[in-house]
Amino acid sequence: MNPGAGPLRDRLLILRQVDRAHPSGAPCDSWQPVRRIWGAFEGFTGRLYLAALAEQSGLSARARIRRRTDILPGMRLQARGDLYHIQAVQPDPDPAWLWLLLERIDGNG
C-alpha cells in the first residue's frame, strides 16, 4: 500500500524555530525539522486567491492534515520545495482533520 495515495498525497515537513548562538556570540534564529507528515496541500488559485488578496491576509496556500496537537501558528511548513509560515491552525468540520493556513516565504523569509 502506498501511504501517499489518496487524499493525503503530499509529503509535508514541519519545522520549528530554535534559538542558537552564532560562534560570535550573537543570537541566531534557525529552523529545526520536527516531523514529516502526509497532507493535502493546495495553493490558492482563482476565487480563493482573490478572496485572500481582498482581505490582505497574505495567505497563499492551505494544507489539510490529520488532527495533531503539536503543530502551532508560527511554525513553518515545507511543501513542494517551497517554505510557508503557518499562520493559523483551524479545525475542520470533521474532527479527524485540521487545516493549516499558510503564507509563502519569499527569499530568506
Domain count along the chain: 1
User: Is the Cβ–Cβ distance between 59 and 102 less than 8 Å?
Assistant: yes
Q: Would residue 109 count as lying in a domain? A: no
Here the CATH number for the domain that contains residue 30 is 2.40.10.270
CB within 8 Å of 20: residues ≥ 6 apart: 27, 28, 29, 30
For the cut 80, the answer to whether the pLDDT of residue 59 exceeds it is no
Ranges 9-18, 39-48, 59-68, most confident:
9-18
Q: How much is the average pLDDT of 1-27? A: 78
